[in-house]
Amino acid sequence: MILLSAQNISKTYMERKVLDNASFFLNEGDRVGIIGINGTGKSTLLKILAGAEEADSGEIIRTKDIRISYLPQIPEFDDHGSILEQVMRHLPTDLRAAKEFEAKAILGKFGIRDTSRDIASLSGGERRRAGIAAALIQPSDILLLDEPTNHIDNETVVMLEEQLKKYRGAIVMVTHDRYFLNCITRRIVEVDKGKLYDHEGSYAEFLEYKAQREADAIAKERRNSSLYRKELEWIRRGVRARGTKSKDRIERFYELENREKPTETESLQLQSISSRLGKKTVELYSVSKSVDGKNLIRDFSCMLLRDARIGIVGHNGAGKSTLLRMIVGEISPDSGEIICGDTVVIGYFSQQCESMDDSLRVIEYIRETADYIHTPDGVISASQMLERFLFTPELQWSRIGKLSGGERKRLYLLKILMTAPNVLLLDEPTNDLDIATLTILEDYLNNFKGAVIAVSHDRYFLDKIASEIWEMNGDGKITQYNGNYSDYAEKSAKNKISENTAEKPRRDKKKPAFIGKTRLKFSFKEQREFETIDDDIAGLEEKIAAADRDLAKNSSDYVKLQELTELKDELSAQLSEKMDRWIYLNDLAERIAKGEMI
């Protein structure tokens, strides 16, 4: 059943058409990821679907009595009021008492346990988590999430994944987190030049589909170009439109001449630009730092290697940004010393992004840093560098005030790289950047001739660029792990299991004090099913993907089409049943882990 549809919608912002006669539909149970380059209209589409904004033209049809919960990029709260009140403020009055326990439970899972605190006291990451909680407790059939993983730590992202897997309604989300995208979504919609391109399947499958779509468009243009040359020769002979056939041929010629040609796919082309780095880089000696009486960094020493690739992880407020700000010299350590070599040129990408003069033109902002820069390809002008960052000549002369949040981040990143740094400090660089930009940034960092320290919650990004992970828990200790994020996650989990085992006191082998109760546990059959269900689900998803490919190949064979459709329906029903079992078994596993009794 279709829950919501958008038909032929168009939207223009400041003379830029972000949606052009685009259509979208949402069925029960759909889990859709919306992707696209910054500034193409992803957030605008979500706002229109939520009813937070009106389209210039087109029609939005929502099923009667449909309930929609919407998380904008910046959660909307009053200036003051308790966290619990603000999270529940959009709930119907008669539901608030019933939902209070659920709200407190979700906030607690997200690390916000004192729900009586004033909302104004929350940090940016905490406000984001409160916004997610507000969206999750709202009774809804459709959940719309705009960049839900921005500004939250890795642990919270994993908990959010668990919450969304249990959600029974349809989900539409804008996200750049590729692990999160693959974990939650089963359908990808790309926003590109005002149009929507829809694909059933994972993000990896979408990339294959997109490559084929672009190859088909290029092949079609090659045929049209060849036909146009032939028709142009015929026209130049001065053929008169005497007969009907001649008139039709002339009309076809002008259609060919005025055809919309496929444009080359836009992609960032970042050259590795850096200054010479001497033997001495950045050295930290017994550095300690406390903020508001909380000891964030205690007696930390480190000598940064010239080719270091360090990822810093930890929960919000653990001191990750504080460490970067000390290295760059924005704040001083309470004790200890930080020494930078004479040749060190630091490029610091701040999480907040520097303030920009909205009246400045894009090219003027970049020329404040440099008119020209030396790259491995030779000398490149500011305008050429902007084009490589997807800023068209027209957009370069636009005011900064007209740019989207993601475009501002991209512009800010370019300005930093234009300084030719040899040590890069990146504080949450993946926030607000689109997937295309992130992919090329990862390639750039892998070829960068200098040291990189990146604070990030993006697991995919850290897997791609990091060879060492620093974990900050907010207790002053920084634990260092060799390897990327996946290596760290595995080692960290093993360490925690060892610590928990060591901390458990020896129990007296007496009977437990309770009478008539036993510990909750799996049956033998449930245990076996729990161990294999992830593989079973993956197998069913692969079979459904194969059925989709077969359907595309046999679109003209009605008998085969009918058989494949029935097979896909049967597989989809099996997958739905397996997903229900997955939710039940994982809930049971959590209860067993807590030691619940029956």
Cβ atoms < 10 Å from Cβ of 472: 23
pLDDT per residue over 270-293, tens digit each? Answer: 556 666 777 888 999 999 999 888
pLDDT per residue over 452-477, tens digit each? Answer: 999 999 999 999 999 999 999 888 89
Phi, psi dihedral angles at 331 (to 5 degrees): -135, 160
Chain-centre distance of CA 313, in angstroms? 17
Distances (CA, A) of 418 to 214, 371, 447: 32, 9, 16
Three-state DSSP class for 477? coil
State the first-to-last Cα distance of the chain, in angstroms, to the nearest integer. 39
Phi, psi dihedral angles at 283 (to 5 degrees): -125, 130
CA distance 66 to 86: 23
Quick one: pLDDT at residue 262?
A: 58
CA distance 250 to 226: 16
For residue 32 the two structure tokens come to 């859709």
pLDDT per residue over 64-121, tens digit each? Answer: 889 999 999 888 888 899 999 999 988 888 888 888 888 888 888 888 888 888 998 8
Quick one: pLDDT at residue 266?
A: 46
Quick one: pLDDT at residue 515?
A: 41
- Pair 19, 194: CB distance under 8 Å: yes
Confidence of residue 512 (pLDDT cuts 50, 70, 90): very low
pLDDT per residue over 472-506, tens digit each? Answer: 988 889 999 999 999 998 888 777 666 655 555 54
Quick one: pLDDT at residue 145?
A: 94
Mean pLDDT of the chain: 83
Quick one: pLDDT at residue 514?
A: 41
Lowest-confidence range among 304-318, 377-391, 408-422? 377-391
Confidence of residue 338 (pLDDT cuts 50, 70, 90): very high
- Pair 347, 424: CB distance under 8 Å: yes
Helix (H) or strand (E) holding 241: none
Decide if pLDDT at 511 tops 50. no
Confidence of residue 510 (pLDDT cuts 50, 70, 90): very low
- Pair 412, 431: CB distance under 8 Å: no
pLDDT per residue over 530-556, tens digit each? Answer: 888 888 888 887 888 788 778 777 766
Quick one: pLDDT at residue 11?
A: 93
Q: Which residue has the higher pLDDT, 513 or 568?
A: 568
Quick one: pLDDT at residue 183?
A: 87
- Pair 229, 221: CB distance under 8 Å: no
For residue 487 the two structure tokens come to 């290596």
pLDDT per residue over 134-162, tens digit each? Answer: 999 888 999 999 999 888 888 888 889 98
pLDDT per residue over 122-133, tens digit each? Answer: 877 788 889 999
Length of the chain as a residue count: 598
CA distance 235 to 222: 20
Task: Classify residue 459 as exposed, middle or buried by CB count within 10 Å of its CB (0-12, 13-18, 19+).
Answer: buried
Decide if pLDDT at 350 tops 70. yes
Q: Which residue has the higher pLDDT, 550 or 362?
A: 362
In percent, the amount of the chain with pLDDT more than 70 equals: 86
Quick one: pLDDT at residue 89?
A: 87
Quick one: pLDDT at residue 259?
A: 63
Decide if pLDDT at 239 tops 90. no
Q: Which residue has the higher pLDDT, 460 or 262?
A: 460
Q: Which residue has the higher pLDDT, 188 or 317?
A: 188
pLDDT per residue over 105-123, tens digit each? Answer: 888 888 888 888 899 888 7
Lowest-confidence range among 7-21, 423-437, 580-594? 580-594
Quick one: pLDDT at residue 267?
A: 47
For residue 270 the two structure tokens come to 């970042």
Phi, psi dihedral angles at 466 (to 5 degrees): -95, 140
Lowest-confidence range among 100-109, 385-394, 417-426, 574-583? 574-583
Task: Classify residue 155 as exposed, middle or buried by CB count within 10 Å of its CB (0-12, 13-18, 19+).
Answer: middle
Quick one: pLDDT at residue 98?
A: 82
Confidence of residue 517 (pLDDT cuts 50, 70, 90): low
Between β-strands 68-71 and 195-200, what pairing exists: parallel, antiparallel or unpaired?
unpaired
